[in-house]
Structure 1
Amino acid sequence: MKVVTFGEIMLRLATPGYLRFNQTDSLTATFGGGEANVAVSLANFGIPVDFVTRLPKNDIAQSCVMDLRKYGVGVDQIVYGGDRLGIYFLETGAVSRGSKVVYDRAHSAVSEIKSGMIDWNKVFEGVNWFHWTGITPAISQGAADVCLEAIQKANEKGITVSCDLNYRKNLWNYGKKAGEVMPALVAGTDVILGNEEDAEKVLGIKPEGVDVTGGHVEAVAYESVSKQIMAKFPRCKKVITTLRGSINANHNSWSGVLWDGKTLFEAPTYQITDIVDRVGGGDSFMGGLIYGLLTYTGDDQKALNFAVAASCLKHTIYGDYNQVTVDEVEKLMGGDASGRVAR
């Protein structure tokens, strides 16, 4: 089995600890981006995976490629051109003060990508699964076109397609709204991940009876959303919703549900009381889900449980990437949340 992900990876510049932007004179540099984060998760779980993007030819981009290689992600299908790697700045919140992200990704190499720049026939040789997110078509019309190009080629080849709807209001600024672009891409997708805001902003589908401002979310309320998605997009076989209850910036409850058209599966709920870094939490869920669906064939409950447990562990790890092993995730799935030293 082999997976391909496509999207933008950026240089992440974060304030140390919980400092605000105006308090610090240094920033910690790492790399991250939705589809790249998924690729790293899968590589850590032992799944062969290629990350496809467009990068400039400079030392920062080369450092990024070396970083991906370090985690076992395939980078041979990356294309080169353009002038810059996108950047995002992160200020980590605490308690009642939320985190902040500032993007500096205009005119990045991948935002200026055009149809035909990537040979998808070559990229998809021997591939079983293709993953994209709603972040990519939000970057530019060109990125949206290439994403659609990839989905259509994957459909032709019988490759399973998954997406994380990932609505980011600050990115949709090139003259198109998410609702104008996303439905055509979602129509070619087999496995859809999202939350209540994604469903409404991207697909115009509203959840019923859901309060997302407190610390508890009723999972069963999402069954109607899943049914509406499947009715609107007949190709879709599974709809998955992450359930995050935000008590404060440091304490979240975390779970998920999966609808397969007949049954609503619900994962256990974890209380994440001392979050180290929640950026990439949804990506780690998606990486865990793809692994679970590929590995625990026919056992959607176990696949969902793996995704939730993997993402729970990501909240304890600094940076965008989820650097955990299958054994660590399965240990948590088995009920061992003690955090005791492994000797």
Structure 2
Amino acid sequence: MTPVAKTYDIAVFGEAMLLLIADRPGPLELAEAFTKRIAGAEINVATGLSRLGFNVHWASRLGADSMGRYLVNQMRGEGVNCDHVTMDAAQRTGFQFKGRVDDGSDPAVEYHRKGSAASLMTPDDIDASWLAGARHLHATGVFPAISATALATARRTLQIARDSGSTISFDPNLRPTLWPDEATMRREINALAAGADWVLPGLAEGELLTGHKTPEAIARFYRDQGASLVVVKLGADGAYYDHATLGCGRVPGWPVDKVVDTVGAGDAFAVGVISGLLDGRTVPEAVERACWIGARQVQVLGDSEGLPTRAELQAAGY
């Protein structure tokens, strides 16, 4: 396929789940009430980019149930195009419980997604002409982990995007419990990353995937696979970047007085990098934006509540 005209900004594929957040800290079984929200790595990124004014399209499969209707309504309310989301009356929507913490630690998360509608997606569900019209594709390691057919679908999405001249970002976003074993996860995630232009691993997951312990070595591993840019997330210490022509560097983290909820921080970081680069910012500027958005996200409860609007981004000088 030759490069084609781009008709919208960003495409994402991935599973959306109903998120139920506990009303109190402690074991989930002691919670007596839950707050309803929306969850999913790709969904968080789609939400963040849409809030910044990008034309974002999301493709997925949901059950034709109350949870599925809630998720689509929420995403449409965020301005995300859901025309390629299938509501399947024969399947069910996945959901998850998340604990509440008050000490900055990672909250407990309990998934109920096995056999969900999204896990039954296949490459035949891809509208290739539609996907080829995207300026950019964002992919993560979550969707391909939920089933063998989702993995095949993820491979096909990256191939279509690359063949059509779109740029591609990839966040490994590891979910080891969803893979049959660590070796399979490492092999498949690295193969997907090899098809991306911008790779965004965290330091710990980068070590697990590559065997290297430093951000410099992790970045070099993915640059050697063909990525033009690798940004290694370093948590409170910021990030390290390695670009094919613009060199390497470090960007400090944004100070946070109190960490409320760490879930969604990596997705928020991806929103910063992707939006910055698509806005034409330099790599250091895009990474600085990513650190600021990531810091906002960890200071609120929920997976996407800290993602800024374009007005908030501009007011902060990013």
**TM-score, normalised by the number of residues in structure 2:** 0.90
Superposed counterparts of 1:245-324, under 5 Å: 253=236, 255-261=238-244, 263-297=247-281, 299-321=282-304, 322-324=306-308
State the shift of 1:276 in Å: 2.6
Q: Does 1:85 align with 2:85?
A: no
| 97 and 75 in structure 1: CA distance in 2 versus 1, 3 angstrom threshold | closer
- Specify the code of the residue in structure 2 equivalent to 1:49: V
Q: Does the 8 Å contact 1:140/1:174 carry over to 2?
A: no
Give 1:123 deviation, angstroms. 3.1
Question: 1:198 maps to which residue?
Answer: 205
Does the aligned pair in 1 maintain the 2:107–2:261 contact within 8 Å?
A: no
Answering whether residue 146 of structure 2 is matched by residue 105 of structure 1, we say: no
What is the aligned counterpart of 2:146 among 139, 144, 149?
A: 139
Work out whether residues 268 and 307 of structure 2, in 8 Å CA contact, stay in contact via their aligned partners in 1. no
Aligned pair partner of 1:124 in 129, 132, 156? 132
Shift of 1:6: 0.9
Shift of 1:254: 5.0
- Bigger drift between 53-62 and 271-280 goes to 271-280
Distance 1:12 1:254, change over 3 A: farther
Is the 2:277–2:283 Cα contact (8 Å) retained in structure 1? yes
Shift of 1:175: 9.8
Is 1:26 equivalent to 2:33 in the alignment? Answer: yes
Report what 2:65 is aligned to: 58
Give yes or no for the alignment of 1:242 onto 2:241: no
Q: Unaligned regions of 5+ residues in structure 2, if any?
A: 1-7
Deviation at 1:174, TM superposition (A): 8.2
Q: CA deviation at 1:68?
A: 0.3
Is 2:213 aligned against 1:207?
Answer: yes
Whole-Å separation in 2 of the counterparts to 1:34 and 1:162: 13
Deviation at 1:282, TM superposition (A): 0.6
Q: Deviation at 1:3? A: 0.5
Taking the aligned partners of 1:144 and 1:291, their CA distance within structure 2 comes to: 26
Q: Structure 1: how far apart are the matches of 2:68 and 2:182?
A: 28
Report the Cα offset of residue 269 of structure 1.
Answer: 2.1
Measured after TM superposition, the shift of residue 98 of structure 1 is: 4.2
Greater helix percent: which structure? 2
CA 1:296–1:122 in 2, change beyond 3 Å: closer, same or farther?
closer
- Aligned residue for 2:68, secondary structure, equals helix
Indicate if the aligned counterparts of 1:205 and 1:228 stay in contact, CA closer than 8 A. no
State the AA in 2 paired with 1:270. Answer: W
- Deviation for aligned residue 1:193: 0.2
Number of matched pairs: 308
Question: 1:284-339 CA deviation, whole Å, 9 max, x = no partner?
Answer: 11011110001134x111111111111111122332114412343344457xxxxx
Q: Which amino acid aligns with 1:20?
A: P
Superposition deviation, residue 142 in structure 1: 0.5
Distance 1:182 1:97 in 2: 26
SS state of the match for residue 53, structure 1? strand
Q: Which amino acid is 2:262 matched to?
A: R
Cα distance change of structure 1 residues 288 and 42 upon mapping to structure 2, 3 Å threshold? same
State the one-letter code of the partner of 1:95: D
Provide the residue aligned with 2:4 in structure 1: none
2:34 is the counterpart of 1:10: no
Contact 2:293/2:307 (CA < 8 Å) preserved in 1? no
Measure the CA separation in 2 of the matches of 1:184 and 1:95.
Answer: 37
Q: Is the 8 A contact 2:141 2:171 kept in 1?
A: yes
Provide the TM-score with structure 1 as the length reference.
0.84
Q: RMSD of the alignment, in Å?
A: 2.0
The answer (yes or no) to whether the contact 2:273–2:286 under 8 Å persists in 1 is yes
Letter matched to residue 97 of structure 2: F
Residues 1:288 and 1:175: Cα distance change in structure 2 (over 3 Å): closer
Call closer, same or farther: CA 1:268–1:61 in 2, change over 3 Å: same
Q: Which residue of 1 aligns with 2:51?
A: 44
Kept in 2: contact 1:309–1:332 (CA 8 A): no
